[in-house]
Structure 1
Amino acid sequence: MIESSHTSPSAGWAARRLAELHLAAVFLTRLPLPHLRPPLPALSAALWAFPLVGAGIGLAGGAVLMLASAVGLPGPLAAGLALLATVLLTGALHEDGLADIADGFGGGATRARKLEILRDSRVGSYGVVALLLVVGLRWQALASLAANPLSAALVLTAAHALARASVPWAMVLGRPARSDGLGAAAGEASLVIALITLAVGMVVAVGLVPALALPMAGLMLTITAGIGWVATRQIGGYTGDVLGAIVLLSETAALMAATR
């Protein structure tokens, strides 16, 4: 029997989606994943998978929280270990973005100077203060939920998923602040991709925390629009650092909303 060498349309579609999911995981985590084989998908095409990768990161943190609670650690320690696990998985990717825009927007007098600071790997006083405040808020919010470890784990997973759905919306609502760098290299995100990404994030959130899904999504979109507006006023658009900061602040707001 002679086997056909042609790939069916459905198999080709599935292979492209898997490649995009792989790219999203490579970009958003520090997991030792195998290299992608060419042709590589565009990062903008992989945005729909960001909430799925985010859910995986949140799930890992939630598992650590539940394990820490099971062995008798108090809520604040369990929450701290959960956050540490997520930071290790992401390589502090979004924390770095927040620190950079805090330094750039706070310390630069001109657009050119702000963009220069954003590219500086050093962290200044504005960045340190911003990180301390946001890490503290996330820690306190998660610790307040840790009395019910399973509920806290579900909230953390949903928050990570919806926070990463912010990326294509920031790209749709704004424009790259410069012609090079990660923000420009990511390509263009369409409204269709943004809607699909939000739908994926909502499916995850509704499945885990149905009562909180809409408030979390509303906060994410509000923060995305707000930080995007500030970034446009400050530097003319978004950069990779701006996108990372939006993700982190959206996650923080989602965790805080769950404490009500």
Structure 2
Amino acid sequence: MTTPSHSPSPSPNRSWFQQEWRGLLLAIGFFTRIPVPALPDFHEQELNTAAKYFPLVGIIVGAFAAIVYSLANAVLPQDISVLLSMVATIWLTGAFHEDGLTDAIDGLGGGWEKEQVLQIMQDSRIGSYGVVGIVLVLSLKFAALNHFPPLLVPVLLIAGHSLSRLCSVMVMATQRYVKFSGKSKPLATSMPLTHLAVAALLGLLPLLWLPSSWYWGIVPVAAVWMWFSLVLKKRIGGYTGDCLGAMQQLTEVSFYLGVLACAAT
């Protein structure tokens, strides 16, 4: 994860291409271990530009998983290849979203009042709710991907990672950021419709490689997104970074299960 250098001075004038390129590098550096150039004169407002590229980061992560799966599946059984693809994504992202899932489940499961929920989320220790949640989600991913024909798994990995990150972006667009006590900063403070449109295009694009009859697999994703969004709204009045990670994980596994249900009918 790349940490850009802050600058107290106003952001220098940059061309549209420079701004977008910095936003893309910021998104890649923030959410993956991929080395990116340092970003001098960084300003937190640039996170607003980076947010729309989160689904593209999902495509990159999914493509990496697809490559690992394809290479492994040439010489290894399907189940081991799927497991290695999951290990690859966890390594590439530094378990960023998985960590968010465990923290969010711990907070929402163990806390009653808003401040208590946020305090538990901020705790670096993992509780029983988080352990059970991450084990179940990873197990469901593994089991679902194992039931698909080998040629379709790479496409599903790319689509699942891009679509699920779009779901996180949609949380940012529809709810407010809830600060922990202290100096925590939001990933982005605004989501213009043009940025949301770019994110939607990038998040949905890999679905074009799937059979149209499988598009019904998005229904469970939408249902989980609405349910978890309502939970966040009711329990803490918005979202945190951990909640975005949890949304990504929950909607990713929902996509695999939804498509699997479509394929079975």
Give the TM-score category using the shorter length: 0.7 to 0.9
The C-alpha deviation readout for 1:203-258, integer Å capped at 9, x for no partner, is 2322x225267445544443333212101211121000001100111111111222
Counterpart AA for 2:58: G
- 1:6 matched residue in structure 2: none
Match for residue 45 of structure 1 among 49, 59, 64: 49
Pair 1:89–1:109, CA change in 2 (3 A): same
Equivalent pair of 1:159/1:216 in contact (CA under 8 Å): no
CA separation of 1:185/1:48 partners in 2, compared to 1, >3 Å: closer, same or farther?
Answer: closer
CA distance in 2, matches of 1:82, 1:212: 26
* Alignment equivalent of 2:205, drawn from 203, 208, 228: 203
Matched, 1:88 2:87: no
Stretch moving more, 195-204 or 208-217: 208-217
**Secondary structure of 1:165's aligned partner:** helix
Query: TM-score, normalization: structure 1?
Result: 0.87
Q: Secondary structure at the match of 1:252?
A: helix
Q: Does structure 2 conserve the Cα–Cα contact (< 8 Å) formed by 1:100 and 1:117?
A: yes
Judging by fraction of residues, say which structure has more helix: 1
Please report how far the alpha carbon of residue 191 of structure 1 lies from its aligned counterpart in structure 2 after TM superposition: 3.3
Q: Which ranges of structure 2 fall in alignment gaps of 5 or more residues? A: 1-12
Match of 1:245 in 2: 246
Q: Name the SS of the counterpart of 1:88 in structure 2.
A: helix
The answer to whether the 8 A contact 2:27-2:53 is kept is yes
Given the alignment, which residue of 66, 70, 73 partners 1:69? 73
Confirm or deny that 1:223 pairs with 2:224. yes
% same residue:
34
Q: What is the CA-CA distance between 1:151 and the residue it aligns to? A: 1.1
The change in CA–CA distance for 1:136 and 1:98 in structure 2 (over 3 A counts) is: same
Asked whether the 8 Å contact 1:212–1:258 carries over to 2, the reply is no
Secondary structure of the residue that 2:191 maps to in structure 1? coil
1:173-192 correspondence to structure 2 within 5 Å: 173-178=174-179, 180-182=183-185, 184-192=186-194
d(CA) in 2 for partners of 1:43 and 1:220? 26
Preserved contact between residue 177 and residue 189 of structure 2 (Cα < 8 Å): no
Task: Say how many residue pairs are matched.
Answer: 246
| 2:29 is the counterpart of 1:26 | yes
Relative to the length of structure 2, the TM-score reads: 0.86
How far off is 1:185 after superposition? 4.8
Structure 1: segments with no counterpart, 5+ residues = 1-8
Partner of 2:143: 140
RMSD, aligned α-carbons: 2.1
Question: 2-side partners of 1:197 and 1:255: how far apart?
Answer: 20
TM-fit CA distance, 1:141: 1.0
Deviation of residue 84 (structure 1)?
Answer: 0.3
> What are the Cα deviations for residues 3-42 of structure 1, in whole angstroms up to 9, with x where unaligned?
xxxxxx9x92222221111111011112222212324462
